[in-house]
Structure 1
């Protein structure tokens, strides 16, 4: 009996086994909290997956029927290219505008897929983009075996209407317009542009190299409240107050003049419990996004341009927009709804019949919203296929929305 009592006492006094995560001892309560957070995260991810309309298109990273022309960066893969081709495949496309020409990946494929195309306009404010895009456009035009009046202009897409009307060789209105709002690989991969959190470079972030405002100007001279507003609204950064204070404090010690300066500040400010290296990189990504949006006035430009683009469409014409973060997608969604000025409950129209007819003709269309001025063909945005997300990591956050004019 005495032996049993001694054993029982030793068991009671023995400390509970401790769990480790990344070499750090965790208490039972910490482990329970971590499991609860993981379960909540998985539930949130499942809910997000149910809300999206994932593309069923088979991903083809090499869609071009001709050799890649020099100079060409083969690492650049146009996002949701197959889906974009589907959007414009249903009807005759005699005129097409790429508002964000970039490396011309989408444009070259559209030109190749539409031998009936007669007019093409490519717009971009970045001279480097034009330098890379032109050989690919020339190759696509040569391979198309049709006469296409093709023009490229160094202008922001907010000036689309004037660009069309000022060129007597281009039609007005047009049948198809594409806006790919993501940064091109060549912009991100060039340290001198200051867009990347992974390489040292100047705090520039201008889409238009001729523009005057740089990220450095905002960080070193804009009012404190404006810096905070940019981080809060454009970066959706929860730690914006601390970041704002440290950025303003840095001005007393010479300011911030390189991406490394800014990244070092973010590393010092980001709490260590927020995911280690991944934690501060995610914060840095949000801060860089906020500054890029402010430098290029992206959100106001986008909203104004969506209305202008719709005005430039011919009846039956389509506008397709690929966005890459929630702020852009929210603007596209709300602006499209405002443009069509209607809903599925409009009286006097057999909307279900119209919707069924559209979906029968084009399998990629799942749910539509009808209005008096047009039809939104993507009630929910289309997102890349799982295969594309695996092979092209930069496509993961892409969302495609399409509107058709009546």
Structure 2
């Protein structure tokens, strides 16, 4: 409409100038006026259509995002167990074991004559297990961190009674078979009734700047779980080949901007390299524009980079896989292995290793994963388990055992609110037959 009005105004101007015998005559044939009006009108229409398409796309993206969030929540197997907190009604400031009530439920129906905590830490989970199972005779606690081992030993000692034998060992859980052979060789023959792995970082480690795990505290680029190990994060950052450094950032850190980070770190080597957590964080912060999430933006990037370096320093994924196989081997018939993981790489290793242990083959079909067992066991066993224990929802059965958590158990909403560390925790359980 605006185009038509403007065209008419031009035509009137040409007529007026012509009637006054001006030297400059502006004449617009009617056909030209219609073309101009049509072009202007078409331009306005195209602009409106473009805005409509943009708006429709925005609505569609918002709808798909909302659906993805809802579907993700539906897929989660949230714990329905009431979260138990301290007498004061608040989560204590010290290390709080995640999913502790759920871990108790996992082993509640098992007659625990023997139990191994592969990641003892401050003995939060193990203390509850010992108190819940008076029949427990043999306890083995393992930790590669001497500070954690000392604290765990203190708590376990306070729970000792005449019929309980406890051994606290400063070892990585990949040595579970040799540790059991040294502490109680008979267990290798009869098997262990319960094994727990809590793969999370403890507050003792994160809050000590000298360990180099925290992105918010200045410290050396260390990140060794075992202080006696030789490889440090500083070695990787300053000495590893460019391609290997990139692989750590991409595959272990799951950082989308890994290539630019890799190049910046390689460039920093020309000026003496990076030797502290603060220097590495400054490099990361310098690459993160303020428009991308502000402070939270660079902290998330730094967290992913630190995760990648920590996994590489401690060879965590390969160690975890080997330890899962060894742990299942030493289980007694009916014994259970429970694993708490805190990021997708760990959880993926646990899920796939459990399937591999039972002799399953994994087939990828688009985004779906189908599994084919070598042979099935009787459904009555699974039915009996579900009737006996309410926390068991979906299972996967195989010739050697049962995965009691087809989907991992995640913390209740209440626990997530009161303990931020629990937000990414996932619990998977396998039982030997």
Q: Per-residue displacement from partner, 1:172-224 (whole Å, max 9, x unpaired)?
A: 22110000001111111111111111211111110001111110110011111
8 Å CA contact 2:218, 2:278 repeated in 1? yes
Structure 1 Cα separation of the partners of residues 353 and 419 of structure 2: 29
Structure 1 Cα separation of the partners of residues 420 and 174 of structure 2: 29
CA 283–365 in structure 1, closer or farther in 2 if over 3 Å, else same = same
Query: What is the TM-score normalised by the length of structure 1?
Result: 0.86
Report the equivalent of 2:323. 305
Report the CA distance between 1:277 and its aligned residue.
1.4
Report the equivalent of 1:276. 294
CA 347–337 in structure 1, closer or farther in 2 if over 3 Å, else same = closer
Structure 1 Cα separation of the partners of residues 175 and 82 of structure 2: 35
Report the equivalent of 2:431. 404
Report the equivalent of 1:17. none
CA 30–111 in structure 1, closer or farther in 2 if over 3 Å, else same = farther
Structure 2 Cα separation of the partners of residues 348 and 114 of structure 1: 32
8 Å CA contact 1:344, 1:370 repeated in 2? no
1:46 is aligned to 2:70: yes
8 Å CA contact 2:375, 2:399 repeated in 1? no
8 Å CA contact 1:126, 1:209 repeated in 2? yes
Report the equivalent of 1:115. 134
Instruction: Say which SS state the counterpart of residue 130 (structure 2) adopts.
Output: helix
8 Å CA contact 2:121, 2:152 repeated in 1? yes
CA 124–266 in structure 1, closer or farther in 2 if over 3 Å, else same = same
Report the CA distance between 1:391 and its aligned residue.
0.5
Correspondence list, 1:278-357, <5 A = 278-342=296-360, 349-351=377-379, 353-357=380-384
Instruction: Say which SS state the counterpart of residue 244 (structure 1) adopts.
Output: helix
Report the equivalent of 2:256. 238
Report the equivalent of 2:146. 127
Report the CA distance between 1:41 and its aligned residue.
3.6
Instruction: Say which SS state the counterpart of residue 141 (structure 2) adopts.
Output: strand
8 Å CA contact 1:115, 1:146 repeated in 2? no
8 Å CA contact 1:119, 1:170 repeated in 2? no
**Number of equivalences:** 368
Structure 2 Cα separation of the partners of residues 198 and 36 of structure 1: 38
Report the equivalent of 2:29. none
8 Å CA contact 2:358, 2:373 repeated in 1? no
1:90 is aligned to 2:114: no
Instruction: Say which SS state the counterpart of residue 210 (structure 1) adopts.
Output: coil
Report the equivalent of 1:379. 406
CA 120–349 in structure 1, closer or farther in 2 if over 3 Å, else same = closer
Instruction: Report the structure number with the largest CA radius of gyration.
Output: 2
CA 43–304 in structure 1, closer or farther in 2 if over 3 Å, else same = same
Structure 2 Cα separation of the partners of residues 39 and 348 of structure 1: 41
Structure 2 Cα separation of the partners of residues 152 and 325 of structure 1: 27
Structure 1 Cα separation of the partners of residues 57 and 296 of structure 2: 20
Report the equivalent of 2:416. 389
Report the equivalent of 2:16. none
8 Å CA contact 1:116, 1:146 repeated in 2? no
CA 349–303 in structure 1, closer or farther in 2 if over 3 Å, else same = closer
Structure 2 Cα separation of the partners of residues 134 and 34 of structure 1: 57
Report the CA distance between 1:346 and its aligned residue.
6.7
Structure 1: runs of 5 or more not aligned: 6-26, 64-72
Structure 2: runs of 5 or more not aligned: 6-50, 361-370
Report the equivalent of 2:166. 150
